[in-house]
Amino acid sequence: MDGVIEVNPGRVETLYSSGMELPYVEFGQAEPALKLVHGGEEYWYYKTLPLKGYGAVLARYVRELGVDGKKPLLARFRPGENFSTSSHWDRIYIYATGVTPIGAGKK
């Protein structure tokens, strides 16, 4: 996973989970990126969850980010050319503002 994807505001939808309304974008067969840029803000990769059963833990992670003043942006990258079609690769990716990028060390 590397690179940056600029998110078109028109592609952002709302995902309803555990009583929360979360910004969500679905990509076709794009490869997951380390950073998404949306609305002039940088959202760095934070965590990924399997699509099946993500609702059980997603709320906890999003609330933790909110307590720290970080904003989440959820993404889904469809399996296809870049991934195996196995459900193992069908995941929800959590990106957030203010998180330390992978490989950048702790703040």
* pLDDT, tens digit, 9 for 90 and up, residues 51-99: 888 878 899 999 999 999 999 999 998 766 555 555 556 789 999 999 9
Buried b vs exposed e over 65-92: b needs ≥16 C-beta within 10 Å?
beeeebbbbbbebeeeeebeeeeebbbb
Tokens, residue 7: 């998110």
pLDDT in tens, 20-45: 999 999 988 778 889 999 999 999 99
Beta bridge partners of 49: 92
* H or E element in which residue 94 lies: strand 91-96
The pLDDT of residue 6 is above 60: yes
Cα separations in angstroms, 36 against 19, 56, 88: 25, 25, 22
Q: Which of 93, 95, 76 is nearest to 29 (CA)?
A: 76
Whole-structure pTM value: 0.84
